[in-house]
Structure 1
Amino acid sequence: MASPILPGSGLGSGLDIGSIVKALVDSDKAAKQTQIDKQTKTNTLKISGVGSLKSALTAFQTALTNLGSTTNPAFAGFTATSGTTSILTATSDNTAVAGTYNVVVNNLATSSKVASAAFAGGAASAIPSGTLKISQNGTVYDVAIPANATLQSTRDAINSAQGANGISANIVTDSTGASRLVISSNKTGAGSDLKVSGIPGLVIDGTQPMGTNPAAGASGAVDGIAKDASLTIDGLAVTSKSNTVTGAISGLTLNLASVSPGTPPAAATVTVASNTSGLQTSIQSFVDSYNTLMNTINSLTKATADSEGRLTVSAAFTGDSMPRALISDIRSVLTAPGAGGPLAVLSQIGVMTNEKTGNLAFDSTAFNKAMSTNGMSGQVKQLFSGTDTTNGLLARMGKAITPYLQTGGLLDQRNTNLQIVGKNLSTQQSALDLRVENMTKTLTAKYNAMDLLVGQMKATASNITSFFAALNAQKSSN
């Protein structure tokens, strides 16, 4: 009796050719596929780890930059506050001294603004060609005026040529239609008056005021000539070329906003005090940022147990030397002496390293005790911000992580190498898939050929059996 033909079996042999081929192919594929899968999983984990570490370092770098801001300093040793901010505001540095100061602003520093004689033809008035010379503080600025120039094109030429020098021009037209060229400077203080020469009709002496009702042919300074700021500090007279007054009070910068009102004028009180609470907040912010970075690094390097608590599951950088080098670079900054002075290391203000976790801990009680020493607030600023742009703790910490974060740095290089590994694994997978496909085709063809041969042999055997059965039947009938 012929063998029954089962689902998926060969028509001739009755064997499950598909299952046989699959088993043989899977057996040949298994070792290489396992290797590729394992390496791909590890490589993907490392790529993700590089991204996580770079994000954590970028966040830490941003925190360092914000804490080290010069426009909004987080480690100002002193705070200077003005009792009347409409008159002036004040900022301090670490050389300031606690105290109060009464400041009266008599007048603000002004810049030079000059106007030409009036041109009846308005902005389209013709201007002779030549070289317009604008002088200020002994410096002469040349502006080329081409042929067929107008008052408007002359204005544009001045703005284009001298905008970078703080000189600008515009046109003011009165109710009669007559126009004047008005030239301004952003430099303030006595002696900064503008003088214009070189072009007929545009000669202006900025040391001479035009007055309140200038005649059409008059030219000169608008609203008076440039002058210095005048103020008194605790009754002592002070002048300044600008409205930003530095050096008058050691460690303080006064930003003048308006003249003191009243008769006699009311003083604005500036108070300078140690910035203890602000420094404590900033130090805590630094500690928190540091610990967040360390926690991320630890999570990327520490192996963990599986769900059954037995097998060890590696993290992205388990056993990798780069995170250890990074931690070493960062911690070396913490232990190195500061920019000089009695405050040299963080432990003096209550910042200690936890021996078990490696994180920082901030003892506010120890900090407040340290801050009771005179001048310590300025020393805290010096420790973190330094005496220049390179020797403060924040700057040195930023320098330590730069090789890892910078474009083309260590993390970028590591990511590039991992991407190459990923492409190689993808190539290996494609090659393995092609091998499996070809092997499947080859084995299927061979087993189908065998099945055909078995089917032919079975047919021959069946014919022989039928022949002899017929002979036996014929003999029996005889």
Structure 2
Amino acid sequence: MASFSSIGIGLGGNVDVNGLIKASVDAVKAPVTKLNQQAAMTNAKVSAFGQFKSLVSTLADAASKLASVTGWNGVSATSAKPEAVSVSAVGGAAATSFNVQIQSLAKAQSSISVALSPVSQAVGAGTLTFDIGKWSGEPKVFTMGSAGAVNVEISATDTLADVVSKINGSKAGVTATVLSDAAGERLLLRSNTTGENAGYRVSVADSDGVSTDAAGLSRLVVGATTEYGVDARATVNGVAVTSATNAFSNTVAGVTFTALQVIGSDVAISVSKDSSAVKKNVEAFISAYNAINQALNDVTKYDQGTKTAGLLQGDSAAVTLQNTLRTALQSVSTAGALRTLSSVGVVSEGGLGNVSPTGNLTLDITKFNKAMENPDEVKAFFRGLEGGSVADGFAGRFKSVTDKLLANDGFFASKTKVYEQTLKLNAKDVEAINDRAERLEKSLTARYTALDTKMSSLNALNAYIAQQVTTWNKTSG
């Protein structure tokens, strides 16, 4: 805003022109404060519905788990001696039991060269060749695998540390390490994989032309000590089985037992149905529902004590969302003997004695355990009869409700569009008012400037006339 504080000749001496202009501009801008408050309120509602969407998404996931067959195929696998044999089973594995003995653990092939001294010397130029395959028989005979050979070129200036780095970077199927002891440095090799089929063979082409002596690069191969890889060996109910690793995953369908120790006595393994996963999924559904229901309760309530209303108190969209979810809870399963949530122990929190119910859910563990005495009926309630439609079960029906709410053209998407449009209109109104205020400020500044200039001219003319009158009076006297 232009300043009139230095004019002084025209209006500046007696009139607060800046104050007059500011008062006029502020009057035009007055509606902006209310518009900003409205925008802040709208943004708060956008944030609230964003939270609701996230909570409904979590609720939809919880319903999906109750509708998924995976959640109903939980099994429990136990080992009588978990320190010797651990066990796990995939969902749906058949209930079974068997005995395991462990004769040997899987081991990777390893080898160690003779000592090189002094340390950090150049080992000699040449080529190390690594073949991956299987050692078998006595004496050991190597059978080449399908991976092919890997050549590692060693230069004349390479130390043992350089050789190790090149081997590890070659993807030869082995890991190399420098082992230091009192005699010097040694090359330690180990297969990356356990088992008899993951063996390796190292050969050398020494640049000195002799690859069988203890000089040059040959020293890393000639005289090396080797421990060959072996498979894990076990018996299952007396039947011999092997595995390249200590995990036997294809021996008993759906069950993996892992050898941890050699043990010659029977270790009892058992696999049984596990209903704890069902209870966990039901509790997760209750928790997810209560989270969205309580969030809606909080923003739509009116606090009599403080005389304050929640952000969305009386908001029709929030009420519609809550009523939609509460109605979905009344969905009736058309499959099996169990028809309502109450029949599986999911009941209203507080029951009939609650004067002001929140609408939250809780699990009546006694009713739930009673229903789980026939787990197939509970399963049918949530996900329909075996071979039928998941949409016949409660979880499927509830999930369809949440899917509609979360769809690209559903409840939340529509609400977002409304709020976005509201904020755009609000921004346009603020912009229009600020533009009008700016134009008014410029106009008033120009007018007061012109008026001040005119008044300065009139003041000068008045002074001149007064001077002339004074001179004329003196002359006449």
Pairing 1:83–2:80 present? yes
Summarize the Cα distance change of 1:61–1:348 in structure 2 as closer, same or farther, 3 Å threshold.
closer
Summarize the Cα distance change of 1:48–1:419 in structure 2 as closer, same or farther, 3 Å threshold.
same
Distance (whole Å) between structure 1 residues aligned to residue 113 and residue 422 of structure 2: 70
Which aligned pairs between 1:315-334 and structure 2 lie closer than 5 A? Answer: 315=312, 318=315
| Mapped contact 1:243–1:256 kept (Cα < 8 A) | yes
Summarize the Cα distance change of 1:348–1:318 in structure 2 as closer, same or farther, 3 Å threshold.
closer
Match of 2:103 among 76, 84, 106: 106
Pairing 1:431–2:407 present? no
Distance (whole Å) between structure 2 residues aligned to residue 142 and residue 344 of structure 1: 65
Summarize the Cα distance change of 1:348–1:192 in structure 2 as closer, same or farther, 3 Å threshold.
farther
Distance (whole Å) between structure 1 residues aligned to residue 375 and residue 66 of structure 2: 24
Structure 2, unaligned runs of 5 or more: 1-10, 134-144, 213-219, 349-356, 385-390, 460-477
| Mapped contact 1:100–1:269 kept (Cα < 8 A) | yes
Aligned residues: 396
1:225-283 per-residue CA deviation (whole Å, 9 max, x = no partner) reads 211111223333322221111132333211222222xxxx3443333333223431332
Which aligned pairs between 1:255-274 and structure 2 lie closer than 5 A? Answer: 255-260=258-263, 265-274=264-273
Partner SS for 1:106: strand
Aligned-residue identity in percent: 20
Shift of 1:159: 1.0
| Mapped contact 1:118–1:217 kept (Cα < 8 A) | no
The worse-fitting range, judged by mean Cα deviation, of 357-366 and 229-238 is 357-366
| Mapped contact 1:133–1:198 kept (Cα < 8 A) | no
| Mapped contact 1:123–1:171 kept (Cα < 8 A) | no
| Mapped contact 2:45–2:311 kept (Cα < 8 A) | no
User: 1:197 aligns to what?
Assistant: 203
Pairing 1:183–2:180 present? no
| Mapped contact 2:76–2:271 kept (Cα < 8 A) | yes
| Mapped contact 1:105–1:258 kept (Cα < 8 A) | yes
Summarize the Cα distance change of 1:63–1:374 in structure 2 as closer, same or farther, 3 Å threshold.
closer
1:359-405 per-residue CA deviation (whole Å, 9 max, x = no partner) reads 7665545543443347789x69x969xxxxxx9x89x89x959978x
User: 2:152 aligns to what?
Assistant: 144
Which aligned pairs between 1:74-473 and structure 2 lie closer than 5 A? Answer: 77-120=74-117, 122-130=119-127, 132-136=129-133, 137-148=145-156, 149-162=158-171, 167-177=174-184, 179-200=185-206, 217-222=222-227, 225-260=228-263, 265-296=264-295, 315=312, 318=315, 350=344, 362=363, 364-365=365-366, 367-373=368-374, 424=428, 427-428=431-432, 430-431=434-435, 434=438, 437=441
Partner SS for 2:48: helix
Equivalent AA in structure 2 for residue 135 of structure 1: I
Shift of 1:169: 0.8
| Mapped contact 2:338–2:377 kept (Cα < 8 A) | no
Summarize the Cα distance change of 1:313–1:53 in structure 2 as closer, same or farther, 3 Å threshold.
closer
Equivalent AA in structure 1 for residue 198 of structure 2: S
| Mapped contact 2:249–2:255 kept (Cα < 8 A) | yes
Summarize the Cα distance change of 1:194–1:20 in structure 2 as closer, same or farther, 3 Å threshold.
closer
Shift of 1:194: 1.1
| Mapped contact 1:188–1:226 kept (Cα < 8 A) | yes
Partner SS for 2:285: helix
Summarize the Cα distance change of 1:96–1:161 in structure 2 as closer, same or farther, 3 Å threshold.
same
Partner SS for 1:132: strand
Summarize the Cα distance change of 1:106–1:170 in structure 2 as closer, same or farther, 3 Å threshold.
same
Shift of 1:200: 3.9
Structure 1, unaligned runs of 5 or more: 1-10, 205-214, 385-390, 457-478
Equivalent AA in structure 1 for residue 150 of structure 2: D
Distance (whole Å) between structure 1 residues aligned to residue 407 and residue 175 of structure 2: 45
1:184-213 per-residue CA deviation (whole Å, 9 max, x = no partner) reads 123222222111225349989xxxxxxxxx
Shift of 1:60: 6.3
1:424-446 per-residue CA deviation (whole Å, 9 max, x = no partner) reads 56645643553575577689889
Partner SS for 2:109: strand
Shift of 1:156: 0.5
Distance (whole Å) between structure 2 residues aligned to residue 277 and residue 76 of structure 1: 11
User: 2:465 aligns to what?
Assistant: none
| Mapped contact 1:67–1:282 kept (Cα < 8 A) | yes
Equivalent AA in structure 2 for residue 169 of structure 1: A
- Give the root-mean-square deviation of aligned CA atoms: 5.9
| Mapped contact 2:90–2:255 kept (Cα < 8 A) | yes
Equivalent AA in structure 1 for residue 226 of structure 2: A
TM-score normalised by structure 2 residue count: 0.59
